[in-house]
Structure 1
Amino acid sequence: MRNLTALALIFGASPALAASGPFFSLGNTDFVVLVAFILFIGVLLYFKVPTLVGGMLDKRAEGIKSELDEARALREEAQTILASYERKQKEAQDQVQRIVATARDEAARAAEEAKADLEKSIARRIAAAEDQIASAEAGAVKDVRDRAISIAVAAAKEVMAKQMTAASGAKLIDDAITQIETKLH
């Protein structure tokens, strides 16, 4: 009610009062507008529209507050997930570095083993080549010796054939037979 009185005083002190003619007449548009406005405000108050509007605004504020709380919770969850993924990424990167280091170490060991195996293989091949060379030398020496013997036997045969007579041949045969008889008995 105080509101209505205050409104009446405010609108009552309008320039329309200073004009000529009665203010409280239905012919005065200012008066009609004032009465309609007061009725409108009364209807709004009667149906408790300000309380309803306030309640709707409060509900809206609560909805916004709950959405903000949910957004904060989602943000914290997202930060937690981001931190988890960053930690996992760091762990994966560390694991990759360990794998690379292990692979390098294994590659270095494999290279050393391959180098040692290569050196052993080269040593075996050199030894096999030296054996082949020695065998070839021994074969060549044997061939030379056999040829020398063959040549010496042929030369001795030729020399003996030229120097030997029938009587000396018969004597050599008899000596050989007696040597064989003595060696056999």
Structure 2
Amino acid sequence: MRYLITALAALSATPAFAAGDKPFFSLANTDFVVWIAFLIFVGILVYYKVPGLVGGMLDKRAEGIKAELDEAKALREEAQSLLATYERKQKEVQEQADRIVASAKDEATEAAAAAKDDIARSITRRLAAAEEQIASAQAAAVKDVRDQAISVAVAAAKDVMADQMDAAATGAMIDDAIATVGEKLH
């Protein structure tokens, strides 16, 4: 029987039965036919509990969205804590890097000062060694000049004495030298 009413309502809702000047409660009036069809449609939906099913699906969807929002909120909080941790670690690493750079600068300054001191001492030692070599060379040169002067003086004295001495003077000199040696030895 329900199917028959539904079929009649569907057939009566056609535009061929609709009339413009008909009374409202007539099947010839399209507004009335549409209103009846709507009520039948709503009744079928209520009978088959479609609004409850749709409501249940919407509730499930709302619960799923709420769960996703809660998960997203938890992920956001976790990401913020990770970000704060990484920012703190970055700050610590930056401070450590600054300390390392400062330490390296201090060590470089100390190394430069030590190198200057080492170079100054090395230059002082080399200057002293050079002065000693110069003094030694001067002493050797003076000795060579003296030795050469003595050799030249002896040769010149020999030549002068050989020219001025005759045999009698030479004999007297030899006797005199032997007497002097004898006095000094005894």
TM bin, normalised by shorter chain, reads 0.7 to 0.9
- 1:163 equivalent in structure 2: 164
Output aligned runs, 1:72-91, within 5 Å: 72-91=73-92
Unaligned residue ranges in structure 2 (runs of 5+): 1-20
- 2:148 equivalent in structure 1: 147
Answer whether contact 2:22 2:29 (CA < 8 A) is retained: no
Per-residue CA shift, 1:51-105, capped at 9, x if unaligned?
1111111111111111111111111111111111111111111111011001101
Q: How many residues align?
A: 167
Per-residue CA shift, 1:122-174, capped at 9, x if unaligned?
00110011011101110121022112211221221122112211022223334
Output aligned runs, 1:25-174, within 5 Å: 25-174=26-175
- Structure number with greater CO (CA < 8 Å, separation at least 6) is 2
**So what's the TM-score if we normalise by structure 1?**
0.79
The runs of at least 4 aligned residues of structure 1 exceeding 4 Å deviation read 19-22, 174-185
CA RMSD of aligned residues (A): 2.4
Letter in 2 for 1:124: R
Instruction: Determine the C-alpha separation between the residues in 2 that align with 1:61 and 1:109.
Output: 71
Answer whether contact 2:22 2:28 (CA < 8 A) is retained: no
The range that moved more, 124-133 or 28-37, is 28-37
Instruction: Determine the C-alpha separation between the residues in 2 that align with 1:175 and 1:44.
Output: 170
Answer whether contact 2:27 2:33 (CA < 8 A) is retained: yes
Instruction: Determine the C-alpha separation between the residues in 2 that align with 1:177 and 1:21.
Output: 188
Instruction: Determine the C-alpha separation between the residues in 2 that align with 1:99 and 1:22.
Output: 94
C-alpha displacement of 1:31: 3.5
Percent identical: 68
- 1:9 equivalent in structure 2: none
- Shift in CA distance, 149/21, structure 1 to aligned 2, threshold 3 Å: closer
Letter in 2 for 1:119: A
Unaligned residue ranges in structure 1 (runs of 5+): 1-18
Answer whether contact 2:45 2:51 (CA < 8 A) is retained: yes
**So what's the TM-score if we normalise by structure 2?**
0.79
